[in-house]
Amino acid sequence: MITLKKLFSHTVLTFALSAAALGVIGCGGVNLDNQPKYKPLAASRFFANGQSSRPLVEGTVPRGSFTTDSLLITGKVNGKLADLFPFPVTEQVLERGQDRFNTFCSPCHGRLANGEGMVVRRGFPQPPSFQTDSVRAMPAGFFFDVITNGFGRMYSYAPSVPVRDRWAIVAYIRALQLSENVAVKDLPEAEQHQLLGKAQ
Amino acid sequence: MAQLFHPRSTVISKASIVIVIIVLTSVIVAATEIYRSGYTTGQNVAREQPIPFSHKHHVNDEGLSCAYCHTSVDKSSFAGIPPTYTCMTCHSQIWTTSPMLQPVRDSYQTQKPLEWIRVHDLPDFVYFNHSIHINKGIGCETCHGRVDQMPLMRRQNTLFMAWCIDCHRAPEKYIRPRSEVFNMTYEYPKNQEAFGKKLVKEYNVQVNRITDCSTCHR
């Protein structure tokens, strides 16, 4: 027969063991909030420089993106900057180019590619306007090359802008150059009316 | 036989019941409030960073888009913290002698990354993905608040699961056109309910699946 005293001591023992077990799980077990795995850019004590991400070996290309299409990846054909696009320029490409241009280029070059971006007003040396005859005469591959490799004080934008986006930007630069240098008589009739109507 | 209880004990026993209820309630309310407060969750607490980087200045005064620095936000789970290289794209030319930016120049020269303190840190069992939110029309501001008005970065929201679920149960309340995702001052239209439902359909948001446990936990 179980005496009251025995029941009491059993209860105490059960509680004590449960508490101890919880303690072991809580302290020595896996912490689910911070699991032993690396998230992007996490620090590491394993590698000498303290970074968990390893630098890319030079010449590494993402799987599936290797190509020998020289025009696409360098803007050159037979070693010379080409005035060609490696893929058809559609409305979608132009829209992507507008979005990327406004994000990455407009801070310095301005939204009209006239070299009057906000960062220039803060003291960054002014880049040339793209709306001059000499820049307008540059081949498309030239702009691609500048985005890829940088130019003068401009750093390379290859790390932040993928290849196809660079071409989309070049296409949009062409659109901007056109839009800022078009004669009124070359506009569609409806827009001519609108423009002249406003000017009067 | 003498009376076991004094006449006053009725009052005392009744009062003690009330007191116990009050005390218990206060303890529960206090515990909940502390649990939800910025003290515990880190909400609205600015962290000390290696450089007092101002999002307000870069976004509001300079007009930089979020994606200029957080380049992988639309294609990866991780929005991306810019390398020092990105800072130096401008700061190799402007504010070149500012003592505040000395750690940036040191980092660039020594190739040792700046160690920013994480402001939004989800538990490791949550598999949050930035790109899906951006591509389905959830604005940066919806979760991160008016970052363009934050001189020092802080967490606008608790990141509690209840807060996530609030939107996952009714995305039409928060969805916006994809073109407005990076807009910090987007105003929802008056007919957001109907407009949101239209966008949810147009962007093919899987309303039946986004409240599944396995959507965020694996």
- Do the Cβ atoms of A39 and B85 come within 8 Å? no
Domain spans in chain B, listed from the N-terminal domain onward: 119-216
Closest chain A CA to residue B118: A42
Instruction: Say how far apart CA B199 and CA B186 lie, in whole Å.
Output: 15
Residue A16 lies in a domain: no
- Which of A5-9, A72-76, A107-111, B138-142 is predicted with the least confidence, judged by mean pLDDT? A5-9
Residue B105 has pLDDT above 70, yes or no: yes
Residue A66 confidence (pLDDT): 85
Q: Please tell me the distance in Å from B111's CA to the nearest CA on chain A.
A: 9
- Do the Cβ atoms of B88 and A107 come within 8 Å? no
Instruction: Say how far apart CA B189 and CA B196 lie, in whole Å.
Output: 9
Number of structural domains found in chain A: 1
Q: Please tell me the distance in Å from B15's CA to the nearest CA on chain A.
A: 32
Average pLDDT along chain B? 93
Candidate from A32, A102, A124 with C-beta closest to B94:
A124
Residue A93 lies in a domain: yes
Q: Please tell me the distance in Å from A160's CA to the nearest CA on chain B.
A: 6
Closest chain B CA to residue A153: B93
Overall average pLDDT of the A12-31 stretch: 68
Q: Interface pTM (ipTM) of the complex?
A: 0.84
- Do the Cβ atoms of B68 and A102 come within 8 Å? no
Burial A24-58, CB ≥16 within 10 A → b, else e: eeeeeeeeeeeeeeeeebeeeeeeeeebeeeeeee
Residues in B lying within 8 Å of A, measured between beta carbons = 62-65, 67-68, 71, 77-78, 80-81, 83, 85-86, 88-90, 92-94, 112-113, 115, 123-125
Q: Please tell me the distance in Å from B66's CA to the nearest CA on chain A.
A: 8
**Residue A29's pLDDT band (cuts 50, 70, 90):** low
Residue B193 C-alpha from the chain's centroid? 24
Overall average pLDDT of the A153-172 stretch: 96
DSSP string, chain A: ---HHHHHHHHHHHHHHHHHHHHHHHHHS--SSS-SSPPTT-B-SSSTTSBSSPPPPTT---TT-----HHHHHSEETTEE-S--SS---HHHHHHHHHHIIIIIHHHH-TTSSS--HHHHTTPPPPPPTTSHHHHTS-HHHHHHHHHH-BTTBPP-TTTS-HHHHHHHHHHHHHHHHHTS--GGGS-HHHHHHHHHHH-
Residue A53 confidence (pLDDT): 87
Residue B38 confidence (pLDDT): 81
**Residue A1's pLDDT band (cuts 50, 70, 90):** low
Overall average pLDDT of the B89-103 stretch: 95
Which of A160, A164, A165, A169 should be substituted to probe chain B, the one whose Cβ sees the most B Cβ atoms within 10 Å? A160
Candidate from B67, B77, B113 with C-beta closest to A103:
B67
Q: Please tell me the distance in Å from A13's CA to the nearest CA on chain B.
A: 28
Closest chain A CA to residue B73: A160
Residue B190 has pLDDT above 90, yes or no: yes
**Is A155 an interface residue toward B (CB < 8 Å)?**
yes
List Cα–Cα distances, A161 to A75, A128, A172, B88, in angstroms.
15, 21, 14, 16
Domain residue limits at A126: 70-186
**Residue A189's pLDDT band (cuts 50, 70, 90):** confident
Residue B140 has pLDDT above 70, yes or no: yes
**Residue B124's pLDDT band (cuts 50, 70, 90):** very high
Residue A89 lies in a domain: yes
Give the tens place of pLDDT for each residue, A57-72: 998 888 888 888 999 9
Express as a percent the part of chain B with pLDDT over 70.
100
List Cα–Cα distances, A58 to A55, A61, A72, A118, A194, in angstroms.
9, 9, 20, 35, 55
**Is A92 an interface residue toward B (CB < 8 Å)?**
no
**Phi, psi of A56, deg, nearest 5:** -70, 140
**Is A40 an interface residue toward B (CB < 8 Å)?**
yes
| CB of A21 closer than 8 Å to CB of A29 | no
Going by C-alpha positions, the residue among A94, A96, A76 that lies closest to residue A86 is: A76
Residue A107 lies in a domain: yes
Give the type of residue at B141: E
Closest chain B CA to residue A126: B93
**Residue B1's pLDDT band (cuts 50, 70, 90):** low
Residue A28 lies in a domain: no
Overall average pLDDT of the A114-141 stretch: 95
Residue B184 confidence (pLDDT): 95
CATH of residue A111's domain is: 1.10.760.10
Residue A55 lies in a domain: no
Residue A144 lies in a domain: yes
| CB of A166 closer than 8 Å to CB of A148 | yes
- Do the Cβ atoms of A43 and B64 come within 8 Å? no
Closest chain A CA to residue B70: A160
Residue A109 lies in a domain: yes
Q: Please tell me the distance in Å from B60's CA to the nearest CA on chain A.
A: 11
